Amino acid sequence: MTQYRTERDTMGEMQVPVDALYGASTARAVDNFPISHEPVPAAMIHAFGHLKAACAQANLELGKLDARRAEAIIAASNEVAAGKHDAHFPVDIYQTGSGTSTNMNANEVIANLANEKLGLGRGAKGVEGAVHPNDHVNTGQSSNDTFPTAMHIAAVSAIHENLIPALRRLHKSLAEKATVWDAIVKIGRTHLMDATPIRVGQVFGGYAVQAEYAVRRAELALGLRTNMEIGGTAVGTGINTHPEFAAKVCQALSKKLGVQFEEARNHPEAQAAKDSFVGAHGELKTIAVSFSKIANDIRLLGSGPRCSIFELSLPATQPGSSIMPGKVNPVICEAVIQVACRVIGNDTTITMAGLGGVGSLFELNVAMPVMIDAFLESVKLLANSANVFVDKLLTGLEVNEDRCRELIDQSLMMVTSLAPLVGYEQSAMLAKDAFKLNTTIRQLCLDRKILPEAELNKALDPDSMTRPSA
């Protein structure tokens, strides 16, 4: 059976598991919020570790903490940042909207770790010379500025370390396909109907540029690094903190994490609104839309293999049916499309969380935990699905050149290149007649001697139809 120790917060005594690094405030929050049974994302906990270490360093330099306590707090915070104590952060995502419970969870864990390093043990916050979670770990801070600041750290780190490299890899793979397949011509389609020819390299070149733009959009989302709330404390006024504190914290974080963090230009705006997160996730939503377009196109171009388009051969990754033997489905494409659905849904969550009267109201946004949970999930899903798309689909993707040639020959829209030579109306009639007679544009024109054969061959050259002409 679990053994407990008794700890106190300002509301009274709480029973805390004897092995827990947290204290009474965290235990109270665990009791209060048994909702999703999913804790705040680990990336946020690690961000809190980085933040609390930077805050202790700033407070040491400003004379707000003595070296003994500051060094113990920094060492403990670094362990939290490294993910060594994730199991001691049990507070549910759906908690107080300011993230106060998670801030106190961090304060209590770091204080207990620091006290252990000082030889005082867990639950020693009232002992003389001990580190106190509020008085020392939280010096110059409020949940109202630390939680959103940790949101920025976690989001920026995830985008910088995971999403952008995955998007660059996706762009590289698509660009390579565009180059290798540039000489292969296929039929184009608009409105799901046959259109004029296009080179496979042009199609994949378009996808590659979508991926290139996705990188740029992710880089725009990194603008979150410039609106750090730390130093605003309770309502953005900076009460109980040193005027140089925020700048020093941002400087310490920038040095440690290799990203240039900047204090918010206006603290009341930064704490009262979360427009920067709404905007940044809008970039992620656009990336998801791009993913869906590329994945959907490829799965349709690979449809068949006998009774549909089948211009592309997708890698066979797993059996596609429990009842139809030999069936293979475009499962990687479908997974990516589902990611897009989730990210777009997360965008709605974040938008709602940012709305006045829902999340943002007066001097504080009170829907921050769900906002950062949705944001980090989107980054993770986009990064992972981009890598899976490269590894499981693009690497083994092939073009069925014979099928491309067959469909071009059958397309009625090959007549488009004849319009400058014989006129739009006659060309339209040729297309309709070819369809009725179940023949090709080329054969019909030969049969009716519409143009000399050499001129007709030149006009109906598929490759020349993929480029402008004088």
Question: For 349-369, what is each residue's pLDDT tens digit?
Answer: 999 999 977 888 899 999 999
Give how far the C-alpha of residue 365 lies from the chain's centroid of Cα atoms, to the nearest Å.
22
Using alpha carbons only, give the angle 43, 49, 50 rounded to the nearest 5 degrees. 90
27 pLDDT higher than 90: yes
C-alpha distance across the termini of the chain, in Å: 85
275-301 vs 143-158: helix crossing angle, rounded to 10 = 30
* 260 three-class SS: coil
4 pLDDT band (50/70/90 cuts)?
Answer: very high
Answer yes or no: are the C-beta atoms of 102 and 41 closer than 8 Å: no
Distance CA 229, CA 222 (A): 15
389 pLDDT band (50/70/90 cuts)?
Answer: very high
The answer regarding whether domain 4-139 maps to CATH 2.30.30.240 reads no
Quick one: which of 93, 90, 71, 74 has its CA closest to 82? 74
119 pLDDT band (50/70/90 cuts)?
Answer: very high
Q: What percent of the chain has pLDDT over 70?
A: 100
Distance CA 218, CA 162 (A): 11
Catalytic residues: 191, 321
The count of other CB atoms within 10 Å of the CB of residue 87 is 10
Quick one: which of 190, 258, 272, 270 has its CA closest to 226? 270
Give how far the C-alpha of residue 393 lies from the chain's centroid of Cα atoms, to the nearest Å.
20
The amino acid at residue 222 is L
Answer yes or no: are the C-beta atoms of 51 and 74 closer than 8 Å: no
145 pLDDT band (50/70/90 cuts)?
Answer: very high
Read off φ and ψ for residue 195, nearest 5 degrees. Answer: -130, -160
Answer yes or no: are the C-beta atoms of 41 and 144 closer than 8 Å: no
Answer yes or no: are the C-beta atoms of 230 and 261 closer than 8 Å: no
CA distances from 349 to 29, 43, 83, 149 (A): 23, 19, 27, 20
Domain range summary for the chain, segments of one domain joined by +: 4-139, 145-232+266-401, 411-462
328 pLDDT higher than 90: yes
Question: For 249-284, what is each residue's pLDDT tens digit?
Answer: 999 999 999 999 999 999 999 999 999 999 999 999
Distance CA 228, CA 243 (A): 15
Question: For 153-184, what is each residue's pLDDT tens digit?
Answer: 999 999 999 999 999 999 999 999 999 999 99
Rounded to the nearest 10 degrees, how much is the dihedral formed by the CA atoms of 164, 167, 169, 175?
-140
Q: Using the 8-state DSSP alphabet, how is residue 131 labeled?
A: P
Instruction: Give the domain 145-232+266-401 fold.
Output: Fumarase C; Chain A, domain 2 (1.20.200)
Answer yes or no: are the C-beta atoms of 350 and 81 closer than 8 Å: no
Quick one: which of 112, 118, 153 has its CA closest to 26? 112
398 pLDDT band (50/70/90 cuts)?
Answer: very high
Q: Kindly report each contact of residues 401-407 with a partner whose C-beta sits within 8 Å and lies 24 or more positions away, as own/partner.
A: 401/184, 403/309, 403/310, 403/311, 404/184, 404/185, 404/186, 404/187, 404/200, 404/311, 405/185, 407/186, 407/187, 407/309, 407/311
pTM of the model: 0.96
Instruction: Please tell me the predicted confidence (pLDDT) of residue 353.
Output: 96
Pick the CATH number of 411-462 from 3.90.1150.10, 3.40.50.300, 1.10.40.30, 3.60.40.10: 1.10.40.30
